[in-house]
A and B are shown apart, each in its own frame.
Chain A
Amino acid sequence: MYILFAVISLTALGLALGFMLGAAARYFKVEDNPLVDEIERMMPGSQCGQCGYPGCRPAAEALVAGQAAATLCPPGGKALAEQLANKLSLEIDLAGLKEQAPMVARVSEATCIGCARCFKVCPTDAIVGAPKHIHAVIADACIACGKCVEVCPTECLGMHPVKTTLRNWRWAKPEPMAAGA
């Protein structure tokens, strides 16, 4: 008799909980993975494609699916990698991530023919100019994606390391202690 009660009550409990879960899944259904949205908002959003994915959203999806490392985004640099790793609770080895020197595109005025191809591909409108006129790069807006370099017919666009000035100079990390600690 007792066994019967136990079986019945447990079955009822299981059924009830099952229905609740089912209902929750139906009513609180989220069309999209909110995490992907959030990650996408953190990315530069320039759809530059340097990560190997066709844009920032696919890259975010790959990150959430665990198919890409937090260090995938070169324009985002170390700072973004750290944020992504925090968000997704991923372990990253920042020491391994050789912070590549920040780059910026520059137009060589001698060879620019004013073809206007570069500023069409620039994802951030960092290149200004008009057709038949020499173009120029707004260094602050350039994300160093390199798309302009690819389309330039005269190779007048090149990526150059950002020059260290008084404004972006930072203290170097102290050398490790004698014989480690």
Chain B
Amino acid sequence: MSALRVPVAPARAATPVQGIMVRVMLALVPATGFGLLLFGWPALYLFATTVLSALLFEAVCLRLSAKPVAPYLQDGSALLTGWLLALSLPPWAPWWLGAAGSALAIVVGKQVYGGIGQNLFNPAMFARVALLVSFPLEMTRWVNPAPPFSEHAPGPLEALGMTFGQAAAIDGVTSATLIGYVKTELSQGRPLSEALASGQFGLGAAWLGWIPGSLGETSAVLVAGGGLWLIRQRVIGWHIPASLLATVAALATIFHLIDGERYLGPLWHLASGGVMLAAFFIATDYVTSPSSPRGQLLFGAGCGLVIFVIRTFGGFPEGVGFAVLLMNALTPVIDYYVRPRIYGRDAKGRPLKLPEDKR
């Protein structure tokens, strides 16, 4: 009657939690490295601040709730949350934005619910949205790509002043994201083709990531590459990314065909903003997404729909954070209603009918 664990599970049968987190981080390395390269020293400082403060807040919360600190910190979930949050911040944001975001993510978004596995909302997206509504100015101050040693790039010391001091970002490099730019132009009555032609945005640059944007979201190719590797590694399923991207692409195609001068095409949508990151790394968060395959398809499609609606018709230029949070809130409902069919039962859980043709 003593505690029987798994009757026998040969060692390393499944990927333990830590291994899962490490693989997700590995998959993020290319996109992160590219982002750091693209936006230089201030981005590096911001990234470090965000990640370290996430770990710090996690440790404090674990201590306060009298849980063992070291084993829980080692699972890597706090590190990953800080990492994902940093990737979604404007690269030259001041340090306190990253630290405040980490506090929101770890303390309010995760530990208040009871720690790992218990939170309703994706902590990183919760913090992103909270920051966006609290500090709209800082959260939308984008810069043009400025790799270290390029013309406008600040040096390591200068960058320290920008991230941790009061030094303002150098004028002339501030910019807007593609979607923000398009929104502004459309509101001024300029048709899409004209706006895109006159802007500094190229479709190829958008896919590769040589555009203004959040620290780690700019390169759709690198983010998607990491995500596909995760699917190959069976860390995440294909259901959520596929349905999310397909929904965004389908809606964009339909609207673009209806009015090409008002609505961006699918290639632009998929390449810009946080769609790729959300599809592969945020919406696929285990804790806050449904557990059945059909539920995941529904969840992904819902995220895609909300992203497109907010981007196209909403007041905010980017809808990824809101979309994920909204669908997170629906996850318990989806989990309740969308379940796999049980063997020998119909979709509603009633036993299948016995065959009539008994002798």
Contacts and interface: CB of A to CB of B under 8 A. Distances in A.
Interface stretch (B110-118, B179-187, B196-204, B289-297): B110-118
A175 interface: yes
A180 B1 contact: no
A175 B3 contact: yes
Interface in A145-181: 171-172, 174-175, 178-181
A181 B114 contact: yes
Interface in B58-113: 67-68, 71-72
Contacts of A172: 1, 3
Measured as residues with beta carbon below 8 angstroms from the partner, the interface class of chain B is: 10 to 19
Contact of B118 (A178, A179, A181): A181
B112 to A, nearest CB: 15
B3 A181 contact: no
B68 A179 contact: yes
Interface in B109-131: 114-118
B67 A180 contact: yes
B72 to A, nearest CB: 8
Contacts of A178: 68, 71
A139 B279 CA distance: 63
Nearest to A175: B3
A178 B72 CA distance: 11
A55 B290 CA distance: 50
B115 A181 contact: yes
A175 B1 CA distance: 11
A108 B72 CA distance: 57
Nearest to B66: A179
A42 B118 CA distance: 38
Given A174-B3, A175-B3, A181 B117 contact: yes
Nearest to A169: B1
Contacts of B117: 181
B67 A179 contact: yes
Nearest to A173: B3
A171 B7 CA distance: 14
A174 B4 CA distance: 7
A94 to B, nearest CB: 21
A52 B114 CA distance: 42
A61 B124 CA distance: 54
B66 to A, nearest CB: 9
Contacts of B68: 178-179
Contacts of A174: 3-4
Interface string B323-358: 000000000000000000000000000000000000
Contacts of A175: 3
A16 to B, nearest CB: 43
Contacts of B67: 179-180
Contacts of B115: 181
Contacts of A171: 1, 4
Which 7 A-B residue pairings sit nearest by Cβ, starting from the closest?
Answer: A175-B3, A172-B1, A179-B67, A179-B68, A174-B3, A181-B117, A181-B118
18 contacts: A171-B1, A171-B4, A172-B1, A172-B3, A174-B3, A174-B4, A175-B3, A178-B68, A178-B71, A179-B67, A179-B68, A179-B71, A179-B72, A180-B67, A181-B114, A181-B115, A181-B116, A181-B117
Interface of B: 1, 3-4, 67-68, 71-72, 114-118
